Amino acid sequence: MVCGEGADVGATGMLRRFAIVLIVVQSVLFLAHFLLFLTILAAWGPAKPSSTRALGVALAILSVFFLGSSLLAFRNANFVVRIAYLIGSVWLGTFNYLIIAAVLWWMIYGTAVATSLPLPGSVLGFAVFGVALATSLYGVINAAWPRLKRIEVQLANLPLSWRGRTIAFVSDLHLGHVRRGRFLRRIVARINREKPDLAIIAGDLFDGTAIDAERAAAPLEGLQVPFGTYFSEGNHEEFRDPRPYLEAISKAGVRILDKQKVELDGLQLIGVAYRDATHTEHLRSVLAALAIDRTRASLLITHAPDRPGVAAEAGISLQVSGHTHGGQLIPHTWIANRIYRQFVHGLSRAGSLQVYTSYGAGTWGPPLRVGTEPEIVMIRLI
């Protein structure tokens, strides 16, 4: 009885904290939309009361659209919810640039007024908001077009049989209400054209929203790689019970590595799920238990590049990760760079360990990319 009461209290506390976060985020969004409303009125002058009311109502609805549709998307996968979520997520990305444009408008127009420069507010408005809308359109197109990236990685003690072989590496496809099975089929077709020897998916195959996971993952059956396809789960698979996602991935012929090591023609392939890589000591103990042979090349699949020092200590040769998205959108890219520094994207080094962090093939939240590119990585071992 006491245990049950404790669990109820814990669940209530989590719900309370979740509600507080939602209220804070929604309040910020509402105030930001109100600033956009005031900027539009200031830039283009007074409008008819009916037009002003219509603008205010439209922005008020849009201010709650993303959070509202997101809450529905975690439990529903019907057509109406998918469309609502798509609208809300595209608007959130577009709003990111509209609010930057609004702040710039006030700064530039205020400076012009203070210095008596003859700068009409409407002309400035067309300029800054036009750039914002063009940037958003570019972001949508850019995010829908994964690029193929080729890199070469030299590994010490690499078996002769692996020299010159290629590994296809993807992460962060985020299948859900925006990207679905058709997107994954395109990725699979692009990988197959390259004829890699091994395929790796480093987590966040799914977005965490409601989806027919088996149907969405089914295109993975089409991957044609001699050494097979391997997956290690990311944080988005862990938003809820990951078992339906993992069962769907397994059914598609992909092997899931969860605190496991496999031998592939002399190459040690290791997978550690996100939940086991979030604490330094726990990750250290997980890798120690796998008895990694330091005299032979090894490859670690783990979703986030959070603790490369621990992998280096364990004698790992190469780590592949995703998670960062590179920040996905300017100016969030600057924040990601401050957090992850040299491990935010690309090939970097921590002692004897090399780490490749992918921008990811998909998107989370706004289906836009500005300052980053979605990618499928071909790693040639030398």
Q: Which residue, chain included where needed, has tokens 């830039």?
A: 43
Using one digit for the tens of pLDDT, what is the confidence trace for 120-177? 999 999 999 999 999 999 999 999 999 999 999 999 999 999 999 999 999 999 999 9
Using one digit for the tens of pLDDT, what is the confidence trace for 211-258? 999 999 999 999 999 999 999 999 999 988 899 999 999 999 999 999
Confidence of residue 358 (pLDDT cuts 50, 70, 90): very high
Whole-structure pTM value: 0.91
Contact yes or no for 332/300 (Cβ under 8 A):
no
Confidence of residue 11 (pLDDT cuts 50, 70, 90): low
Contact yes or no for 170/138 (Cβ under 8 A):
no
Contact yes or no for 378/168 (Cβ under 8 A):
yes
What integer pLDDT is reported at residue 77 of this predicted model?
86
- Type of residue numbered 291: A
**CA atoms of 377 and 157, how far apart (whole Å):** 23
- Neighbouring CB atoms inside 10 A of 332's CB total 18
CATH assignment of 147-381, among 3.60.21.10, 3.40.50.300, 3.20.20.100, 2.60.120.10: 3.60.21.10
Using one digit for the tens of pLDDT, what is the confidence trace for 83-103? 999 999 999 999 999 999 999
CATH 3.60.21.10 domain position(s) in the chain: 147-381
Q: What is the DSSP letter of 161?
A: G
290 φ, ψ (degrees, to nearest 5)? -90, -5
Confidence of residue 7 (pLDDT cuts 50, 70, 90): very low
3-class DSSP state of 147: strand
What integer pLDDT is reported at residue 267 of this predicted model?
97
**Mean pLDDT calculated for residue range 325-348:** 96
Using one digit for the tens of pLDDT, what is the confidence trace for 254-288? 999 999 999 999 999 999 999 999 999 999 999 99
What integer pLDDT is reported at residue 2 of this predicted model?
41
